[in-house]
């Protein structure tokens, strides 16, 4: 039980660090515009992986979480190609 609490604590700290860095970098204007967008996307994916890992802390979820975050993110990006296709709740 101590190990599970330790993992959750480290995950919460990692979430706070990634969220802070992502928000600060989104307002950093002395970078190339496309690089700013790409690095922001990396922080976005890392955030959702850590957020999902906060609730599913098994060994099999270490491989499943990044896969499903990648699939969902790719689907959202693909749906954005058509402007009226994304449902309102997203």
Task: Give me the pLDDT at residue 38, please.
Answer: 74
Has residue 89 been placed in a domain?
A: no
Has residue 85 been placed in a domain?
A: no
Q: Is residue 57 within 8 Å of residue 7, measured between CB atoms?
A: yes
Residue of 73 and 28 predicted with greater confidence: 73
pLDDT tens per residue across span 23-67: 887 777 676 776 766 777 888 889 999 999 988 878 888 889 999
Has residue 87 been placed in a domain?
A: no
Question: Is the pTM higher than 0.75?
Answer: no
Instruction: Say how many domains are in the chain.
Output: 1
Has residue 90 been placed in a domain?
A: no
Return d(Cα 56, Cα 59) in angstroms, integer.
9
Task: Give me the pLDDT at residue 16, please.
Answer: 92
Range list of β-strands (E), the chain = none
CB atoms within 10 A of CB 21: 14
Return d(Cα 50, Cα 11) in angstroms, integer.
6
- Does position 71 have pLDDT exceeding 70, yes or no? yes
Quick one: tokens of 83?
Answer: 């402007």
């Amino acid at each position: 039980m101590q190990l599970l609490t330790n993992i959750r604590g480290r995950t919460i700290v990692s979430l706070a660090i990634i969220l802070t860095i992502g928000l600060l970098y989104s307002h950093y204007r002395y970078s190339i515009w496309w690089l700013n967008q790409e690095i922001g996307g990396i922080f976005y994916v890392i955030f959702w992986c850590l957020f999902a890992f906060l609730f599913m802390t098994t060994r099999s979820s270490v491989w499943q979480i990044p896969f499903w975050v990648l699939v969902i993110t790719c689907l959202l990006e693909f749906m954005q190609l058509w402007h009226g296709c994304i449902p309102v709740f997203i």
